[in-house]
Structure formats: structure tokens, C-alpha cells
Amino acid sequence: MTKISCQVCLDLMPLVKDNVASQESRKLVFEHIRQCQGCKNEYESGNYTLPEMNDKRVIQKIKKQLYLIALATVIIGTLIGIGLSEGPGMFYNIIIFPLVGGIAYFALNRKSFYFPIAIFILSYIWSLINYIIDRSFPIDSVFNLLYAPVFLSCIYSGLVLFGIVIAFLLKFAFRKEVDYEKDN
């Protein structure tokens, strides 16, 4: 059987005492207690202390995970929205891009106002590549080829900006409501 250190045993003791530890953890603790008199005394006395938690570190870790989830949602939503640019699902972008903008605002805060520019560039490049592959425009009309994706890119950037503004206003309104409740 695997041996554990006294510190690991002390960490597992509260879980074993409360009967929430797994069967394997229970076996490890009891085997360690048979061999270690100090841990056995600690287990029998029940005066063991719970390990201290660093609240700031836990909160930072949760914030980091939420940030990464929000950023992944923004990237996936953007790719889905741009992917739907050509076809019957294009009208879902009226919902997708404002949602992506709102999530970007909460994930990126003030930096989210650069996000519509990134959406413009990505959707422009995507549309330009699609037009070149589809040969939708004649070769002699290079200006039309370069100009055509601008319209769609402006719409998508505007929808993202709309979502960012809505998220900003919601955050502003809820902050004011909390301030008002504190005053009364």
C-alpha cells in the first residue's frame, strides 16, 4: 500500500472523521495511524486543526478560471458567428454578436472596446477569403473585391459594440442600485 506523509494524514483526518473520505483515503489514513504514534494520538484526541486556506489565492484562482471560460466563450462565439456569415444561419448573428460583446465586456473590462476592431478584422478577412474562393467577383474588379466585405464587417462590429454598451449600462445600473440600497 502507498505510504503518506504525516501532513497528508492530518489533512485527511477531518474527512475520515466526518465519513466523507473515499474508501481508499480511509485505508491510507488508518494504515498510517497504525505506524505513526503521533498521528494516532492526534486522531484519537480529535484536536487536529483544519489546514489554513489562503482566501486570496482561492479567489484569484476562481477569477482566473472564470476569465478563461469567458475568453473561450468569446472566441468560440466569434468563430461561430463568423462561420455563419455565409448561409441561412447568418441571422443568428443578431443574437450571437451582442452576447459575445457583453461577455467580452465582463471578461476584458475596459479592453473590450478594442474587441469590435478585432471582430471587424476577423470578419473582413473571413469574407475576403470566401469571396476569393467562391470567385463571386470578377478578377478585373479588385476594388469591389476589397470593398465588399466592409459592409458585413461593419455590421458585426456594430453588433459587438452594441453588446458591450448594453453590458456597460447593466453594470452601471446595478452598481447604482447597490449604492442606493447602501444609502437607505
Residue 91 lies in a domain: yes
| Contact call for residues 111 and 173 (beta carbons, < 8 A) | no
Residue 88 lies in a domain: yes
Same domain, 168 and 77: yes
Residue 43 half-sphere exposure toward CB, CA atoms < 13 A: 25
Helical ranges in the chain per DSSP H: 6-17, 23-35, 37-45, 55-83, 93-108, 115-134, 142-183
Domain count, the chain: 2
Same domain, 103 and 24: no
Same domain, 62 and 107: yes
Same domain, 59 and 41: no
Same domain, 151 and 118: yes
Same domain, 73 and 151: yes
Residue 1 lies in a domain: no
Condensed to tens digits (0 to 9), the pLDDT of residues 7-18 reads 888 888 888 888
Residue 50 lies in a domain: no
Q: How confident is the model at residue 178 (pLDDT cuts 50, 70, 90)?
A: low
Q: What is the mean pLDDT of the chain?
A: 84
Same domain, 73 and 107: yes
pLDDT reported for residue 50: 58
Q: How confident is the model at residue 117 (pLDDT cuts 50, 70, 90)?
A: very high
Condensed to tens digits (0 to 9), the pLDDT of residues 30-89 reads 888 888 888 888 888 876 665 566 788 888 999 899 888 988 888 898 888 888 877 788
At 93, is the secondary structure helix, strand, or coil?
helix
| Contact call for residues 10 and 48 (beta carbons, < 8 A) | yes
Residue 123 lies in a domain: yes
Q: What is the pTM of this model?
A: 0.62
Same domain, 82 and 125: yes
| Contact call for residues 33 and 43 (beta carbons, < 8 A) | yes
Which range marks the domain in which residue 59 is found? Answer: 55-183
Residue 79 lies in a domain: yes
71-85, 114-128, 136-150: least confident range: 136-150
CA-based Rg of the chain, rounded to a whole angstrom? 28
Same domain, 63 and 92: yes
Same domain, 115 and 179: yes
Q: Which of 135, 159, 162 is nearest to 148 (CA)?
A: 135
Q: How confident is the model at residue 134 (pLDDT cuts 50, 70, 90)?
A: confident
